[in-house]
Amino acid sequence: MTVLSCQQLQLNVPGKTLVSGLDWDIEAGQFWLVIGRNGSGKTTLLQTLAGLRPAAGGEISLHSQPLQQYRRRQIAQRMAILFQHQESGFPITVQESALAGRHPHRGLWDWSDQDQHETVFSALQTMDLASVMQLPVDQLSGGERRRLELATLLIQDPELYLLDEPTNHLDLHHQISTLEHFSGLAAAPQHCVVMASHELNLGLRYCSHVLLLYGNGAWEAGRIDEVIDPERLERLYQHPMTVQPGSHGNIYLPA
Amino acid sequence: MLLCGLTLLHALVSGSVPIPFATVLQLLGGQAADPAAGQLQTIILQLRLPRALAAMVTGGLLAMAGAYMQVLLRNPLADPYVLGVSGGAAIGALLALMLGLGSSLVSGGALFGALASMLLVFGLSHRHNNWYSEQLLLTGIVVATGWGALISFILAISPDQQLRGMLFWLMGDMSHSDTPTLEAMLLLVCVIISLPLATRLNLYAQGPMRAASLGVAVQPLQWTIFVIASIMTATAVQLAGAIGFIGLVIPHIMRRVVGADHRILIPASALGGAILLLLADTLARTVFTPMQLPTGVLTAMLGVPLFLYLLNKGRRT
């Protein structure tokens, strides 16, 4: 089942075309890795898919209907985005911050936070945050804050997760447990995940598909085993690569 | 709520003519037996009660407008007065005073000046359907400074007999207040509107992009906040002159007391603003009785120590 699809999508930043003619289907059960050099359009792509910035051309459809025909609330019920940077607001607690994830599913007058407690608690537990639930967000470490944002996404419970560098600030253990969790989600029917990341080897270990953005309009997409090879990666990153066999497949390292 | 009621009673009891508590309750109940009581009834029902209500409504409106502005700009410095609204209102009111116009035209001038100034500031910082909060705040401060210079200019060229009235207006003056029926209704409507908006305000306070990703239609929300805050500020200004400080400080105080959840914060701000301004106005009437001080002076005298105390207390815990 195709959840989100792009037809001839074009992405520009002032003075430059980042992606052009992108035809791309994201289907339930897929875990996509988006890679490319700095400024190649990964973040722009994710935010455009979420309907948060206009595309320079082409069409995005959600369940075969143009994205523009949906209300913001309907989009938020179906997809959630993890931002690379979190804007800071007025001080609130971890629990209040996570509760925001329920917003797309609640009515205007549905004020009882108690009913949401279980959902919130289990998501915070998944992200290893149950012990800091009552703390103000500004007392958390960088990695804990990142996990709080991920927990908020889990509470939002969409079909499609758009993750912009989810492993930023996470320690080794939490990088693995987070990606384990999302690959488990993507494997379940009706969910799919798109992740932009510079953690090439982690991404290749957990993702099923890959989208390469060359930053000059060119792109390539497909199954990881069909698309990834050292030559392509060298062209993508414009850096010589070495390959070593590892316990989860090949390990690619910069030479 | 209770505190609010007690402050109101206190306001009715105190004044140049002290009236005992029991008598006030009797008179409010509508019993006026002898002529002396009739006179007291006049003082309470026609002088003190309207003025007390006007102070409460003004304080409530200003504090709520401040709470809205702080969300819209996502900046704790935002406040209708910092953004140049009071300056614009002052120009309108002072021009009317200088021309020797009646008090309703002074109010009208203030209303017009406030709205014009807000449209100017927001128009200048509204680009590509988006508000950039830093630009908004800077524009507001610069415009306010411009108004300040114009105010000094007007004061300098005004005849002496009008100066005192002008200065009182600039410092916030409740002494010409009638019963603010319309304004009170507006306050009530704005509190009610804020309730279904509040969860969206909570999300917007965490950032417009995040709010949008969680299903908030950001642009309509920004316009709603802007329109509500503008109307509330302009109404408060035409009612009572330039009373600063409440819009800035009450939302902060309330955030420390009840937390940052706008479902509670906005009604609490309305209540807190009403209490502080009423208290200040009662003191303004009574401290040097029978002389009356400008309300704005007392607002700051009460509010500054209270705010500094809460700020320090919050830091230690």
Encode pLDDT of A36-50 as tens digits.
Answer: 999 999 999 999 999
Cβ atoms of residues A18 and A217 within 8 Å: yes
Say whether A221 sits in a helix, a strand or coil. Answer: strand
Closest Cβ opposite residue A100 in set B206, B218, B255: B206
d(CA B260, CA B74): 12
What's the Rg (C-alpha) of chain A?
Answer: 18
Cβ atoms of residues A84 and A43 within 8 Å: yes
Could you tell me the sign of the dihedral formed by the alpha carbons of B119, B123, B129, B130, in that order?
negative
3-state secondary structure chain B: CHHHHHHHHHHHHCCCCCCCHHHHHHHHCCCCCCHHHHHHHHHHHHHHHHHHHHHHHHHHHHHHHHHHHHHHCCCCCCCCCCCCHHHHHHHHHHHHHHCCCCHHHHHHHHHHHHHHHHHHHHHHHEECCEECHHHHHHHHHHHHHHHHHHHHHHHHHCCHHHHHHHHHHHHCCCCCCCCCHHHHHHHHHHHHHHHHHHHHHHHHHCCHHHHHHCCCCHHHHHHHHHHHHHHHHHHHHHHHCCCCCHHHHHHHHHHHHHCCCHHHHHHHHHHHHHHHHHHHHHHHHHCCCCCCCCHHHHHHHHHHHHHHHHHHHHHHC
Say whether A34 sits in a helix, a strand or coil. Answer: strand
Q: What is the pLDDT of residues B107-163, one digit of tens each?
A: 888 888 888 988 888 888 777 556 677 788 888 889 999 999 999 999 998 888 888
Cβ atoms of residues B37 and B20 within 8 Å: no
Cβ atoms of residues B276 and B250 within 8 Å: yes
Test the A interface: residue of B75, B192, B214, B256 with most A CBs within 10 Å: B214
Amino acid at B267: P
Closest by CA position to A181, among listed A248, A125, A102? A125
- According to the model, what pLDDT value does residue B31 have? 55
Residues in chain B closer than 8 A to A77 (CB atoms): 215
Which uninterrupted H or E stretch holds A48?
helix A42-49
A76 and B196 within 8 Å at the Cβ level: the answer is no
State the distance between the two ends of chain B, measured CA to CA, in whole angstroms: 27
A87 and B207 within 8 Å at the Cβ level: the answer is yes
Say whether A97 sits in a helix, a strand or coil. Answer: helix
Could you tell me the sign of the dihedral formed by the alpha carbons of A97, A75, A87, A196, in that order?
positive
Cβ atoms of residues A178 and A123 within 8 Å: no
Q: Searching chain B, which residue's CA lies closest to the CA of residue A158?
A: B214
- According to the model, what pLDDT value does residue B317 have? 45
DSSP state of A190: T
Q: Is the pLDDT of residue A216 over 90?
A: yes
Q: Is the pLDDT of residue B266 over 80?
A: yes
The pLDDT of B293-298, averaged and rounded, is 81
User: Is the previous residue joined to B290 through a cis bond, with omega within 30 degrees of 0?
Assistant: yes
Residues in chain A closer than 8 A to B259 (CB atoms): 92
- According to the model, what pLDDT value does residue A45 have? 97
Q: Pseudo-torsion of CA A195, A10, A77, A162, nearest 10°? A: 10
The pLDDT of B77-89, averaged and rounded, is 82
State the distance between the two ends of chain A, measured CA to CA, in whole angstroms: 40
Phi-psi group of A38: left, alpha or beta (phi > 0 → left; psi -120 to 50 → alpha; rest → beta): beta
The pLDDT of A58-66, averaged and rounded, is 96
**Where do we find the tokens 């959902």?**
A119
Cβ atoms of residues A145 and A137 within 8 Å: yes
Residue B262 sits at the chain A interface (C-beta within 8 Å): no
For chain B, the domains span 2-316
Q: Is the pLDDT of residue B10 over 70?
A: no
B213 and A81 within 8 Å at the Cβ level: the answer is yes
Q: Searching chain B, which residue's CA lies closest to the CA of residue A101?
A: B214
d(CA B304, CA B153): 29
CB atoms < 10 A from the CB of B236, how many?
Answer: 36
Closest Cβ opposite residue A92 in set B217, B218, B260: B260
d(CA B58, CA B285): 17
Q: Searching chain B, which residue's CA lies closest to the CA of residue A88?
A: B206
Cβ atoms of residues A230 and A243 within 8 Å: yes
Pairing of strands A192-196, A31-35: parallel
Closest by CA position to A148, among listed A176, A175, A171, A120? A120
The pLDDT of B250-254, averaged and rounded, is 90
Chain A: give the shortest CA distance to residue B235, in Å. Answer: 28
The pLDDT of B91-117, averaged and rounded, is 84
Say whether A148 sits in a helix, a strand or coil. Answer: helix
**Where do we find the tokens 């990881």?**
A224
Amino acid at B208: P
d(CA A250, CA B108): 76
Of A14-18, A94-98, B70-74, B211-215, where does mean pLDDT reach its minimum?
Answer: B70-74
**Beta strands, E only, chain A:** 2-13, 16-27, 31-35, 57-62, 65-66, 79-82, 160-164, 192-196, 209-213, 219-223, 241-246, 249-254
The contacts of residue A165 (CB under 8 Å, 6+ apart) are A84, A196, A197, A198
The domain defined by B2-316 carries CATH number 2.50.20.10: no
- According to the model, what pLDDT value does residue B21 have? 67
Closest by CA position to A200, among listed A152, A158, A244? A244
pLDDT-above-90 percentage for chain A: 85
Q: Is the pLDDT of residue B316 over 60?
A: no
What's the CATH class of domain A2-89+158-254? alpha beta
Residue A94's pLDDT band, with cuts at 50, 70 and 90, is: very high
Q: What is the pLDDT of residues A3-36, one digit of tens each?
A: 999 999 999 999 999 999 999 999 999 999 999 9
Q: What is the pLDDT of residues B11-37, one digit of tens each?
A: 666 665 666 666 666 666 655 556 666
Closest Cβ opposite residue B196 in set A72, A89, A108: A108
CB atoms < 10 A from the CB of A243, how many?
Answer: 12
Phi-psi group of A11: left, alpha or beta (phi > 0 → left; psi -120 to 50 → alpha; rest → beta): beta
